[in-house]
Structure 1
């Protein structure tokens, strides 16, 4: 029996040795295959890009001096620093700054009541709280429509590219009430489709948390933003002085540069929000990333074209977030992104397309 046992042991050892040799070869070849795989899986950006802003063609205003102890982070890569979101509701307040918590501002004003009402509906403990439907509620310096009152407010909605001159701020609901803030939320701010994590909820609850487009006709007067680019600059000094100091200089420079390119912007009346050769420019409240000031968001409308041509704009229907913007970069952003349809990768934080998909590079 010993020779048979020896043969068996020899075969067993040989089998293990063979498999071990195989494993060694497989492990040693893995880095090469992974390298080739990574090379094959490199996906080009979902839009045209350019690496840096071109040098300005004229003398720019100097970069404002920042408060001591509040530096700009020039070390971390910017790509991916934009938090994912579904929509951004941009509330028109007509003022350039706000308290640290915007829901504490705007006492007895329609825009303040709108912020507080939205928080009660979409925020913690609200009936429409959904961690997978992040709606950014942001204040802006853009003036509200003349028709706004303590009972209503004006706002833009991106990337839906809509402007609402009069949103009712009353959150009380009743079976016969069809024009309150709750109805507005159900018509425009809820997701079109719930995340799969909600599949265990009762059908009635799922229906309550899903958008109801049939309610949209209750809000007449909605304006589609088809032609006017919108430039938003974080200027929330009440939250962090880096943006508070940087934003006014950027706003002035965007207005100046866009004016030289044939664009006008309304400063006070809030009556013009869309049209050829018109741009919406405003300061906004906190959107995250003060250490990357200046923070700029550019929304390119769906029907915008490249320059004066009929060529569709490559970034039409998209929102592009930039960080570490200084006055010397403004002309380059206008030329490359707003007019030329290219994303400047050195300053790109993230983006969103018309369907709400997040853009990365």
Structure 2
């Protein structure tokens, strides 16, 4: 099975991408991409014919870069439409994180776009704590205490240097926006992520098409990886990629595997259309 032949693709040599609501006036990109999906080389599961998916609008330049994607491990495969409304330990962590670096948060920086995403990977077994995966940093931070959300954001998610537009801020204001790597010592030690990670939008609570396509794609990826003997983790995540497309897929390839025989050299590949 050739994944790139079963879906249309967008790839980045620098950063993974997320969709914005509009592409008007967006600069043209030199991202390598596949404009037309080749015919599949293997049997592919049929999808319901009544799913309303835009199959005509060009995919290139429909995405904007983000600095980091934070996966909140929930142990669930679907969530409320807005993940911050989840009445769970993970939901509380998301709310705390948005209060730190989300729009309106005390550490919000419009030039440091952090994507906060719920994921189906196992939740932390420790009460009042959350496990998070960071991409493209390829780090797993286990058992983050909920009273340490601010330290987590400052240690791992804030920028190391500020955009020139922040030059007029006071030293105190700049300090609130900058990363403080020393705070990592107050958190559980990070673990390197060394496996290929496949993330599939299966957020049926937000878009029912994803609730249909996500599990189908997850099953197909797992079967194909098993057939090929590829060690990879495949999870469902909350909504990414806007509402024109469904079942969008992001593949993160760890540094050690970027010259692997799979020839997935970029940090991440995003497959879209549904």
Shift of 1:110: 2.6
TM-score scaled by length of structure 1: 0.63
- Indicate the residue corresponding to 1:199 in structure 2: 167
* 1:144 CA displacement: 2.1
* In the alignment, structure 1 residue 74 sits paired with structure 2 residue 52: no
Q: 1:253 pairs with 199, 217, 220, which one? A: 220
1:285 pairs, out of 222, 226, 238, with 238
Q: 2:144 aligns with which of 143, 148, 167?
A: 167
Aligned residues of 1:242 and 1:291 also touching (Cα < 8 A): no
Which residue of 1 is the match for residue 273 of structure 2? 324
| Aligned-partner Cα distance in 2 for 1:229–1:92 | 17
Aligned pairs (5 A) from 1:203-352: 203-226=171-194, 228-263=195-230, 278-307=231-260, 314-315=265-266, 318-325=267-274
The aligned residue for residue 103 of structure 1 is 84
Q: Compare CA radii of gyration and give the structure with the larger one.
A: 1
For normalisation by structure 2, the TM-score amounts to 0.82
Instruction: Give the secondary-structure state (helix, strand or coil) at the position aligned to 1:303.
Output: helix
CA distance in 2, matches of 1:285, 1:137: 9
Following superposition, the deviation at residue 57 of structure 1 comes to: 3.7
Q: What's the RMSD between the two structures over aligned residues?
A: 2.3
Structure 1 gaps of 5+ residues are 1-42, 171-179, 264-277, 326-361
Query: Of residues 67, 91, 94 in structure 1, which corresponds to 2:75?
Result: 94
**Larger proportion of strand:** 2
Residues 144 and 165 in structure 1, CA contact (< 8 A), matched pair in contact too: no
Q: Which runs of 4+ in 1 moved over 6 A?
A: none
Cα distance, 1:307 vs. partner?
4.5
User: C-alpha offsets along residues 279-333 of structure 1, whole Å, 9 cap, x if unaligned?
Assistant: 1211111123221223111111111054459xx8522xx12222114xxxxxxxx
Q: 1:118 aligns with which of 97, 102, 105?
A: 97
CA contact (8 A) 1:243 1:290 kept: no
**Post-superposition CA distance 1:180-233 (Å, at most 9, x none):** 11111110010111111111000221122111112222223311113x111111
C-alpha deviation, 1:132, in angstroms:
1.1
Question: Closer, same or farther in 2 for the Cα pair 1:81/1:282, shift >3 Å?
Answer: same
- SS of 2:105's equivalent? coil
Number of matched pairs: 247
Match of 1:59 among 26, 43, 49: 43
Take 2:253 and 2:206, find their aligned partners in 1: how far apart are those partners?
27
Tell me if the contact between 1:66 and 1:245 (Cα under 8 Å) persists in the aligned partners.
Answer: no
Q: CA 1:123 to 1:90, structure 2 compared with 1: closer, same or farther past 3 Å?
A: same
Which digits, 9 at most, give the CA deviation of each residue in 1:110-139, with x for residues without a partner? 312211111111223321011111111100
> 1:58: how far off?
3.2
Is contact 2:144-2:188 (8 Å) kept? no
Q: Within 2, Cα distance between the matches of 1:221 and 1:215?
A: 11
